[in-house]
A and B are shown apart, each in its own frame.
Chain A
Amino acid sequence: MNKVDSIRAMREKLLAGRGGGAGTARPQEAGVVRKILEKHGRRASQIIAILHDMQGVYNYLPEPDLRLISRELDIPLTRLYAIATFYKAFRLVPRGRHEVSLCMGTACHVRGAMRVKDAIERELGIKAGGTTDDMRVSFETVRCLGCCGQAPVMVVDEALVTKLDHLTVGTTLEKYR
């Protein structure tokens, strides 16, 4: 993790001097991508790990950077697209500052996760998979976080919230709005 942290720090340093918006080309960040590629020995078989690290830096997979990887590792862009869309962990659009992931595993389902989902959607005013207009919160559903003993559960920015209830979940989310 330390390497990712150092890459993240490097990126923040790079971004500090300018107001680059998401999705625009950022040639000066080629260093970030190259550093990740070096970490994985520039091996094409490591592409999933490479994309994980990239997303760890940007919180999504920006197109210019994917194009750069395609050139550097000689992997067709179509294949990168196939991988990025096949695996749920990857996303091609930026997400909000806070991420809410509600577990829809079986244990959560039988303990009322559907109703919690409806309540969150009402509270945030977006559907699952969406991001609020102010880019503050993204909400998605996931399949089993493996904490079935305390179902229903959700993860808000890496913190696990357990034993959810559709009557009270709105209050829990208030501080992220």
Chain B
Amino acid sequence: MTVGVCADTGCRACDSVNVYEAFRREVARERLRKVEIKATGCHGYCEKGALVVIHPRGILYTQVKPGDVPEIVAKTLKKGEIVERLLFLDPATGKRIRLEGEVPYYKKQMRLILGNNSRIDPADIRDYIALEGYEALRRVLEHGKPQAVVKTITKSGLRGRGGGGFPTGVKWDTARKARGERRYVICNADEGDPGAFMDRSICEGNPHSVIEGIIIGAYAVGAHEGYIYVRNEYPLAVEALTVALEQARECGFLGKNILSSGFSFDISISRGGGAFVCGESTALMASLEGRPGEPRAKYVHTVEKGLFEQPTVLNNVETWANVPKIILGGLDWYTKIGTGDVSTNPWGGSKGTKIFSLVGTVRNTGLVEVPMGTTLREIIFGIGGGVPEGKTFKAVQTGGPSGGCLPESLLDLPVDFDALTGAGSMMGSGGMIVMDEDTCMVDVARYFIDFLKDESCGKCLPCREGLRALLEILNRITEGRGKRGDIRLLEEVSEGVAETSLCALGGSAPNPVLTTIRYFRDEYVAHIRDKRCPAGVCKPLLRFAVVSESCTGCHACFKACPASCITGKAKEIHVIDETKCIKCGACYDVCRFEAIAR
């Protein structure tokens, strides 16, 4: 029996490390020799952490605390009985579900890339090898010519998962043919999009799948040096990858003469410095060279002149992790998953699966992997369980700061590279942030522009100054100083920034503004004309007051107010002194009688 305890960053916050230790202690004490305890990567259902899966049966226990461990060991591990109270409770039916695969959240997914996370100890290469790991590499080195590998990847229809959606095979082919003294491959693990964490989870949970993909890619394009550029905010990912590289070297998958094929290749890790723009390929390469991460114009592509002026292939973590799957599963199998037809045109469809980080105001938060072409509605309501606490769905934000906000009416849109772009948003790296009625769309647009203004490297004027101008207008609107014509002005400046910026950061930066204007224009009008924030978010437009008919004098708001601006005795109607109110909303949140109006 194997017990997989999720020890990913998210579950660690739910004390999963102590759960793991408790299992080790208990199992040692009970002398259960046939039980193996593994600290695994992210299982994806972050809402229910700490997660424990017991294989081979696949029993899933959710929200496990260290104190629950003796009971699990005594019952499940020793006697094969189920601990009912720790099973997942299906809110739809009120029944407890035993097996991981039967929980609705997992049942509706297709977990090609994430599936092995609950079976693998990322710090032990043998776990990966036992699940056909490095088998794809062996096959490629034994039978495949580099050109044949490139052809397979092109035919598979694999497109870049980092957001661009550029066909991976086409990229490899150009790099292979480009002239240069040497070639480089880079794995972009600088997952900067706020609200996206699938790359972190792959690196932490199944690092060898990424490394194997990179080695195959290096062989295909003829590179002997590779880099993994990891975000500074992900210390655990750096640790997992460092250990994995070390073990891959020991096993002869990296280094000189890999698997006696005559092919030599090695990978080093580079830590980022906390700059969002470094996710852009040319900026990332500048950073790898030890310079500030400023992008350059791409009239010469990086596949021809990239890192140190040499042909360079850069792909995202998830893209690399797909490579071994395609080699092992074959083209017939892979091209059946997803949308469109890629047999003649690599841009003709979106193939394979995509991982989304489903977060925000949605019931089941976590990582969701579905075939391309799944509808937004299926992801948010079918898998995510919809919006909690009886609120209504307002929008879903896809594609990070470069993406857009889509309303309820577009929920039946199939998710692939082309459909989302058509709606004014984009797939991006796969962040999917659900927003309910309490989210102000003007504030969301302001939030993203504020983010991008900070992250703009400042090299080109349209992005540097344009974003500042957009922010000024949005600040004005959210502070109740909006003017007639501001919406038009926003659209005009947006167009200028999008058309004339140097890199994709500026080129896509206005998307959040343009989509919120397109789909939620009435909220802009409410802010500008009526000086009102319908969602009750924009502070300067709020006024908190006690509704005297509903106030019971329970004194809760009095205790909660950090500014001491509420007066009133128990069982008497309370009063808010507006001159002292800091509009923190504490009273609104603690009131159980809807007696605070805003």
A interacts with B: yes
Q: How far apart are the CA atoms of A115 and B536 in the complex, in Å?
A: 13
Q: B13's contact among A47, A119, A162, by CB below 8 Å, is which?
A: A162
> What is the interface of chain A, defined by CB distance below 8 A to chain B?
1, 43-49, 51-52, 79, 82-83, 86-90, 104-111, 115, 118-119, 122, 142-151, 153, 158, 160-162, 166-167
B584 and A107 contacting across the interface, CB-CB below 8 Å: no
CB distance A147 to B197 under 8 Å? yes
A147/B9 in contact, CB under 8 A: yes
Q: Do residues B397 and A106 form an inter-chain contact, with CB atoms below 8 A?
A: yes
A103 nearest in chain B by CB position: B194
- Given A45-B289, A89-B232, A162-B14, also A167-B589 (CB < 8 A): yes
Is there an interface contact between A110 and B194, defined as CB atoms closer than 8 Å?
Answer: no
Residue of B nearest to A146 (CB): B197
Residues of A within 8 A of B272 (CB): 48, 87, 89
Q: Are the CB atoms of A86 and B361 closer together than 8 Å?
A: no
Decide yes or no whether B271 CB sits under 8 A from chain A: yes
Q: By the criterion CB–CB under 8 Å, are B10 and A149 in contact? A: yes
Highest count of chain B CB atoms <10 Å: which of A47, A79, A110:
A110
Q: Is the CB of B271 within 8 A of A48?
A: yes
B125 at the A interface (CB under 8 A): no
Contact string against A for B residues 336-362, beta-carbon threshold 8 Å, 1 for contact and 0 otherwise: 000000000000000000000101110
Partner of B586, one of A89, A144, A166: A166
With both chains docked as a complex, state the minimum distance between the C-beta of B188 and any C-beta of chain A, in angstroms: 15
CB neighbours of B451 from chain A (8 A): 143
Max chain B Cβ within 10 angstroms of own Cβ: one of A1, A79, A106, A166: A106
Pairwise interchain contact A46-B290, C-beta atoms closer than 8 A: yes
Name the interface size band of chain B.
35 or more
B365 contacts A149, C-beta separation under 8 Å: yes
- Docked Cα-Cα span, A107 to B9, in Å, equals 16
What is the distance, in angstroms, from A128's C-beta to the closest C-beta of chain B? 12
Bound-complex Cα distance A108 to B366 (A): 14
CA separation between A88 and B190, bound complex, in Å? 14
Distance in angstroms from A61 CB to nearest chain B CB is 12
Chain A residue at minimal CB-CB distance from B275: A87
Q: List residues of B (1-57) whose CB comes within 8 Å of A's CBs.
A: 9-10, 12-14, 46-47, 49
Q: A110-B444, A149-B359, A166-B584 are in contact. Are A49 and B195 (CB under 8 A)?
A: no
| Chain A residues whose C-beta falls within 8 Å of the C-beta of B444 in the assembled complex | 109-110
CB of B266 to closest CB in A, whole Å = 15
* Known contacts A106-B360, A111-B360, A150-B13: A144-B49 contact under CB 8 Å: no
Query: Which single member of A82, A110, A144, A149 contacts B192 (CB below 8 Å)?
Result: A144
What 9 A-B pairs come out closest when comparing CB atoms? A149-B46, A87-B273, A105-B194, A88-B274, A146-B197, A144-B194, A107-B359, A148-B359, A86-B292
B425 interfacial contact with A, CB 8 Å: no
A residues within 8 A CB of B12?
160
Q: Is B435 an interface residue when CB atoms closer than 8 A count as contact?
A: yes
- Nearest-neighbor residue (CB-CB) of A147 within chain B: B10
Query: Whole-angstrom distance from the CB of A121 to the nearest CB of chain B?
Result: 11
Whether A45 and B290, one on each chain, are in contact in the complex, defined by CB atoms closer than 8 angstroms, is yes
Report whether A150 and B584 are in contact in the complex, using a CB–CB cutoff of 8 Å: no
Query: In the complex, which residue of chain B has the Cβ closest to the Cβ of A151?
Result: B359
Q: Does B258 contact A (CB under 8 A)?
A: no
B234–A119 touching, CB < 8 Å: no
Is the pair A110, B233 in contact by a Cβ cutoff of 8 Å? no
Interfacial chain A residues near B14, Cβ < 8 Å: 150, 162
Chain B 426-449: CB-based contact to A (< 8 A → 1; otherwise 0): 000001010100010000100110
In the complex, A142 Cα to B360 Cα: how many Å?
17
Contact B13 A161 (CB under 8 A): yes
Residues on B with beta carbons closer than 8 Å to the beta carbon of A47: 290
CB of B433 within 8 A of CB of A106, answer yes
B292 with A52: CB separation less than 8 A: no
A52 to B230, CA, bound (A): 13
Which residue on B lies nearest to A89, using beta carbons?
Answer: B274
Residue among A48, A115, A161 with the highest chain B CB neighbour number at 10 A: A48
> Bound state CA distance, A1 and B238, in angstroms?
10
A104 to B46, CA, bound (A): 19
Binary per-residue interface labels of chain B (193-226) against chain A in the complex, 1 for a CB within 8 Å, 0 otherwise: 1111100100000000000000000000000000
Cα(A45)–Cα(B13), bound, Å: 36
Alpha-carbon separation in the docked complex, A163 to B276 (Å) = 25
B585: CB under 8 A from chain A?
A: yes
**Smallest CB-CB separation from A87: which chain B residue?**
B273
Contact A109 B447 (CB under 8 A): yes
Pairwise interchain contact A150-B447, C-beta atoms closer than 8 A:
no
Complex Cα spacing A82 to B585, Å: 41
Pairwise interchain contact B560-A150, C-beta atoms closer than 8 A:
no
Give the residue of B200, B239, B274, B288 whose beta carbon is less than 8 angstroms from that of A87.
Answer: B274
Known contacts A106-B400, A143-B454, then 4 further A-B pairs from the complex at CB < 8 Å, ordered by chain A residue: A143-B451, A144-B196, A144-B233, A160-B13
Question: How distant is B117 from chain A, measured CB to nearest CB, in Å?
Answer: 14
Indicate whether B85 reaches chain A with its CB closer than 8 angstroms.
no
Q: A146–B431 Cα gap in the complex (Å)?
A: 10
Q: Given A88-B273, A107-B433, A111-B360, are A148 and B195 neighbors across the interface (CB < 8 Å)? A: yes
Across-interface contacts of A161 in B (CB, < 8 A): 13
Known: A45-B288, A48-B290, A106-B195. A145 touches B233 (CB 8 A): yes
- In angstroms, Cα B583 to Cα A119, docked, is 11
Whether B234 contacts A146 by the Cβ 8 Å rule is yes
Rounded to whole angstroms, the CA-CA distance of A105 and B276 in the bound complex is 12
CA separation between A88 and B278, bound complex, in Å?
12
Is there a chain A Cβ closer than 8 Å to B191's Cβ?
yes
Q: Chain B residues near A109: list those with CB within 8 A.
A: 194, 444, 447
Instruction: List residues of B (499-545) whose CB comes within 8 Å of A's CBs.
Output: none
Tell me if B590 counts as interface (CB < 8 A to partner A): yes
Nearest chain-B residue to A145 (Cβ)? B233
B157 at the interface (CB under 8 A from A): no
Contact A153 B13 (CB under 8 A): yes
Query: Please, how many angstroms separate the alpha-carbon atoms of A107 and B434 in the complex?
Result: 8
Q: Is A90's CB under 8 angstroms from B273's CB?
A: yes
- Which partner residue on chain A sits nearest B46 by CB separation? A149
User: Please, could you name 15 A-B residue pairs with CB atoms under 8 Å apart, sorted by A?
Assistant: A47-B290, A83-B290, A104-B194, A105-B195, A107-B195, A107-B359, A110-B360, A146-B196, A146-B233, A147-B197, A149-B46, A149-B49, A151-B360, A166-B585, A167-B590
